[in-house]
Every structure is written in C-alpha cells, then in structure tokens.
Amino acid sequence: MALITGGSRGIGAGTALALADHGYDVALTYRNKAARANEVVTAVTQRGVRGLALACDMTRSSDVEQLFHHLKQWTDHLDVVILNASGGMERDLVEIDPDYAMHINRDAQLLLIDAALPLLASGGVIVFVTSHRAHLYGQMKQLPACQEPVAESKHAGEQALRTRQEEFAARGIRLLVVTGDLVEGTITPKLLERTTPGLIDQRRTRMGALPTATEMGKEIALTVMDTSLPTGSTVVVGAPLQSMLSLPQGALRGNSDALYDFSDADLFFCQEQPASQYLSNTPGLGKAASRFVGRLWLCHFADRSQACIP
C-alpha cells in the first residue's frame, strides 16, 4: 500500500503506475487537478490493484488531517510514502506567501510524515524525491536563478527528514532519497533553454538523453523494493552528481583515476568499469552487491550506500 504526494502528473504519476505494475495499491494526492488525478487512478486500477485520488494542499494542516481521515477509511496501513509533491514556482501562491517554497518543500513534508507515521508499518519506506540541484544546494550555481528558492527549500526538506532517521529506524522504517537529473518535459529544462539557448542540447550530447518522468517513476519503484538499501541511502537517476560539480582538489584517491570523494559521506563514484569489477580489484573494499540504476551502479556495503558510474 503506497501513498504518493503530487501523483496527478509527471514523476508522481509515473511512480504510481510503476508501483501498481508491481502489485501495490496506490493512493495519490493532488492540489487542484481532480480530472488528471482520476485519470491516473483509472490507469492504476487497470493494472489490477486499487487506486484512490485525494485532494490535499499539504501546506494546510486541516487538509492533511482530512487526507488521513479519508485514507484511514480506505486502508489500515501504509507500506510506502513517496514525498514527491513540491512547489515554489507558482506565482500566485508566492505572491500570497513569499515563503511558500519553504512551507511546501520543508514544513509540509514534515507535517505529512507526522500524520503518516501511525499508519506506516514496520518495514515501511519513506522516499523523498528531489533533484540534483536541490540535493547539491550550496555546492553549485543555481540556473536559472528563479529556481534557487525551490532548490534551497527542497534541500532544507531533505536535511530535516535526515535528522529524523533514528526516529524512523526505531519504528522499523527506512528513509531513502532519490535525486534526479533534469527530467525531460518538466519545467526546469524549459527554463534553462530559455535563459541559455542550446544548453540542454549540449547536455544531451555530453551526457546522453535526459531521463523521463516514466523512467524516474520506475527507478523510484525499484528503490522502494530494494530491501538491501540501508536507511539514509541516496539513489541517483540520470547524470552523475559529479557532472554538476567541478572536481575538488585532493579528491582523487588511491592509484586509480576512477574514484572521487564528494561532500556526501555515503556517496562515491567510480568511472571506467562496472562497480563489481572495480570493487573486486580494489583492496580493502570487500565484497558488495550491486545493481544498475539508470547510468549508475548502486553498491551496498555493510553500513553505507555507494553509487558507481560504470
């Protein structure tokens, strides 16, 4: 049983269909697009599982209360909560509330999780969906600049959730983060192309095709089902994080050109060879299980998650 916020379109809708394909009943929230949300629910139920669309403005505690009132009439538990809904670019909402980005991307995420925790079963998963620009906020220039409040507040939301990992773990619940590259068809590539014509084509030439919302949804579903991922793990979809950064001085490790250490203590990146080959040839790293995630190998060690680019 999965709850997905912002499930009426884009990555949220892609995740709803991917989880339905794997047998999950899906409840999804939407803010004001009921017809579009119900189309997703129809597609979910056509896969032989249950689906439910519920209106909810996550920034309003009364809406969140009503959401869970209706949800508890439909299910007695949750296995998965996907925190996908975000905002901060809506001109009308920002005019009313200049701090709207922080309220939706940080405060509302915590409010919803507080309401969801009593329903989340032991063994459950919380997935926070973010972007490379938000995940790396403070380490890279934000383009276009109008998206900086979104990146800043999404980053704040991720960090606020991470501070509660021990609380979640005590309940038997894992927190996982999925960060995505620019996603084809979404607003960010369009804004970047508008401010810097040709930039997206250059990116495609250098890094390959951008992931689609459907591909992001499938990777989020795989992340949910990967029980080997320890709490706090970050899964990278699309371009590697280091492509957004300049290589820090002194980051090179060992005798290989392949291994770089970046700011996230649980992320390492290996180029030139598959992770399994790299690990087997690197003394001291021990054995690891790995699977291919987009352009990445995700390698699981005893106490940390490591992402490796093949």
* Predicted confidence (pLDDT) per residue in 158-198, tens digit: 999 999 999 999 999 999 999 988 777 776 777 667 767 77
Among candidates 105, 225, 132, which has minimal Cα distance to 174?
Answer: 225
For residue range 197-213, list pLDDT tens digits in order.
776 777 777 777 788 88
Q: What is the pLDDT of residue 259?
A: 29
Domains of the chain: 2-241 (3.40.50.720), 259-308 (no CATH)
For residue range 96-152, list pLDDT tens digits in order.
888 899 999 999 999 999 999 999 999 999 999 998 889 998 887 766 666 788 889
Among candidates 136, 24, 40, which has minimal Cα distance to 78?
Answer: 24
* Cβ partners under 8 Å of residue 41, min gap 6: 26, 28, 51, 52, 53
Q: Up-side HSE of residue 48: CA atoms within 13 Å toward CB?
A: 3
More confident residue, 275 or 92: 92
pLDDT (mean) for 249-277:
31
Strand, helix or coil at 270?
A: strand
Q: What is the DSSP letter of 40?
A: H
Q: Are 121 and 170 in contact (CB under 8 A)?
A: no
Strand, helix or coil at 39?
A: helix
Provide the H-helix boundaries in 2-102: 10-21, 34-45, 61-74, 91-96, 100-102
**CB neighbour class for 221 (10 Å; exposed up to 12, middle 13-18, buried from 19):** buried
Structure tokens at 74: 């439909």
Instruction: State pTM to two decimals.
Output: 0.77
More confident residue, 120 or 308: 120
